[in-house]
Chain A
């Protein structure tokens, strides 16, 4: 489901809840997945906001932010191994990925232009190149 818009885990829970129990099952799965973690994360945010004037606390969050950035980059690197079997071929994937990274991370262009623009290009390329 990674190529559909929406959080993966949310889409997955909707799909499974919906397939076995219909719309109400989908809603129940979504609620069950989100409500308790939501309460916890909001309590953590409120606690952090309360203590963020202490340099040690804001420092700790800064350190965690840097680690979280590393976690997200590593996720991207790990996922890139799935490109080995891409009909686009690895060199083309690297070119497209680099263009996308430059547009979003360096030039900070709006995703609403970059995503449809590059997405339609890769769709046409993949449609044309993939074996039937």
Chain B
């Protein structure tokens, strides 16, 4: 497939695009992870201390 090999530069070009996708996914994942962890920590603390805290 001509297009996939990118005139011989295939590995370079595709690596770059893959890397970009990976970075975006990592960022998104970490953001969600942080959100979830913060939420859970607060939830645990509130449930443990009751509504009086």
- A and B from one complex: no
Binding site for B on A (CB under 8 A): none
